[in-house]
Each structure stands twice: as C-alpha cells, then as structure tokens.
Amino acid sequence: MIVLGIETSCDETAAAVVDSDRRIRSNVVLSQIDEHRPYGGVVPEIAARAHVEQIDGLIRRAMVEAELSFTELDGVAATAGPGLIGGVMVGLVTGKAIAAAIDRPLLAINHLEGHALTARLTDDLEFPYLLLLVSGGHCQLVLIEGLGRYRRLGTTIDDAVGEAFDKVAKMLGLDYPGGPAVQQAAERGDGDAISLPRPMVGRPGCDFSFSGLKTAVRRLLDNQPELRSEDVAAGFQTAVGDVMADRVGNAIEMARAIYPGVAHVVIAGGVAANSHLRQRLGRLCREQDLILVAPPPALCTDNGAMIAWAGVERLHAGLHDPLDAPARARWPLDPDAKPMPFAGKKA
C-alpha cells in the first residue's frame, strides 16, 4: 500500500511517499522561513501564495525520488486542517485533483493526527500511548487510544509553547524562527543565572500557560537591560522544561489511571526538536519507568511523510473521504474536549 502525502497547513510546503512497510520513499520539504523572516512570523497571505507557486514542483519531485508513477499510488492524503485556511486549501485541492485524475481514494487528514501517528511510522509503536504535541500553534497532552480515538488530557489556556519561543527570541533580538535561535543562545548561557516563574507547576491537571512567562521575560529585560541574552534564553528554556515535566508528570498519572500498562510517552511537533526539552522529559520518563519516543527532528516539524503515513493507517482501516471534504481552520483531535477560549492559534 503506497500513499502520497501533501502538507500545506502553515509555512512548509511538503510532499512525501510512504508505504505500509513504513518505508519513506521520498520526503520533500520546502521551508518559507526566508519569506516570513522580515515580519518575525508567518504571514498567511504570503504562505498561501508560496504554496501555490511550489506545490506542483514539490509533488513531482517527491514522485521522481520515490521512483513511482501516479498510477502506482493506492491513495492520496492531504492535510485538511487545522491550519491557515488559505494554505490548507492549496494542498487539499491539489490532493483532490490528483485523486480524481488517477481514480484513487482521497484521505483528508487532520494535521494533528499526522503528528500523533508519526511514532507508529518511526518506531512501530502500539496503542495506547501518551502524546505531548508542542509547536508554534499547538500545546496539548493527548492519550492516543487507537486510530481515530484521541482523548485530550490537557492543553494551553493561552499561548502555545512554540509561540512563546518566537516571542522571547524577538525580545532578545535573536533570529527567526525563535525555537532554534533560543536553543542556540541557551547553550552559551547559564539557566540558573536568572529567576523566572513556572506557570501552572504544582497545580492539579495538565493544562499549560505561557503568557505569564513571556511577560516575566519582558519585565526582566526592561528592569535589567544589562543581562546577557544567553542567560535569559537559558533561563527561559529551563523554565519551559520544568513546566513541561510537571504537566507531563500529571498526565502520566491520568493516563495510567485509564490504561495501567501504558509504556510510552511520545513528543511531537516542531518544539519536540528542542534538545533540552527531550533531555528533561527523558529524565522524567526514566524516573517513571516509561520510554520516551522522540521521532527524528525532521519528522517532528511539519512534513509530508506524517500525512502520508496517517493516510496509510486510515486506508488500511478501510477509511477514505469524499472529494467534497472541507478545508478546516480549526479541527480538534478530541471533538469531545472542552474548548479553551484563548488557546492556540491553530488548535
């Protein structure tokens, strides 16, 4: 079973071909960082235009690298949301056109499900497992019970952690995107040199909050402009790691109450590439006698392989979607979860 995956939900145009033997036959990603860098963040109109300009060539390249013709595909998977609606429409309409042209099933994929199932592509993980999904638009703890069965245990009540990294990087005069820039600066700093709050730590449940931490960094810089940016970056990153460990620790208790044999914690999303966060959660999992699964960084950020693999899983289960499947700006993994009125921009 071979599936083409198309991803255009934010600022990466991506296409990949993956088969049911977990082979990534091709995985092509074109970043738009240079286009958005002057603005310090993703501009939806620029993103959508770039997807239109690049998507055909990227899909052609993915098929050439996979050494396949379109008629050898068993299905076409495309992100249908959540995300920037203009970008989502570009990839979804392209996927629909290819599926119709070659008379193959369309898989309209939830972008978050792509992240949620990546560990099954890379590590052949069995259900259930606990997922920490952290990116510029998402910050959630989700119990992955089975294909299409996702129970949200916690989410952000304000900002996503990736957004917090971007804003702190901007405060420090660092490059965009902020996640890698803050990590690089933090490696040259002392995380214990400054004191920052740990929002929500010690509280019941496993929801997140990062707005207050961003404000604390702003006030610190205003009051002590002589501080080294490397120390501030390290202090911020350390605070985020402590918050994550506390929230994930509570989520582990909740997950074990439902599935006593749960054995794995998975970290996915762009912020999952942060080495400090991986180390901090790795230590927590060892203390809890659990295994931390962190896909390769290239499969943590947005990519077509995760969309193609989600398509493989759904196609194998006998699922597919009509050609009038809608594009969605918002599409929660757990439709029964209580909405957070101020949570993340893409959730």
Condensed to tens digits (0 to 9), the pLDDT of residues 172-201 reads 999 888 999 999 999 999 989 999 999 999
Q: Which of 252, 244, 249, 185 is nearest to 213 (CA)?
A: 244
- The crossing angle, in degrees rounded to 10, of helices 275-287 and 229-258 is 40
Q: pTM for the whole thing? A: 0.93
CB-CB neighbours of 11 under 10 Å: 25
Q: Please compute Rg for the chain using Cα positions.
A: 20
Asked if domains 2-116+299-316 and 127-295 share a fold, the reply is: yes
Q: What is the pLDDT of residues 100-154, one digit of tens each?
A: 999 999 999 999 999 999 999 999 999 999 999 998 888 999 999 999 999 999 9
Per-residue pLDDT tens over the stretch 286-336: 999 999 999 998 999 999 999 999 999 999 999 999 999 999 999 999 988
Task: Report domain extents, the chain.
Answer: 2-116+299-316, 127-295
Give first-to-last CA distance, the chain, whole Å. Answer: 31
| Cβ pair 199, 244 in contact under 8 A | no
Q: Which CATH number, 3.30.420.40, 3.40.50.300, 3.30.479.30, 3.30.70.380, labels domain 2-116+299-316?
A: 3.30.420.40
pLDDT of residue 44: 87
Phi-psi region of 227 (alpha: psi -120 to 50; beta: other; left: phi over 0): beta
Gap between the Cα atoms of 313 and 62, Å rounded: 20
Mean predicted confidence (pLDDT) in 8-26: 96
81 torsion bin: left (phi>0), alpha (psi -120 to 50), beta (else): left
- CB count within 10 Å of CB 51 equals 29
CATH fold, domain 127-295, is Nucleotidyltransferase; domain 5 (3.30.420)
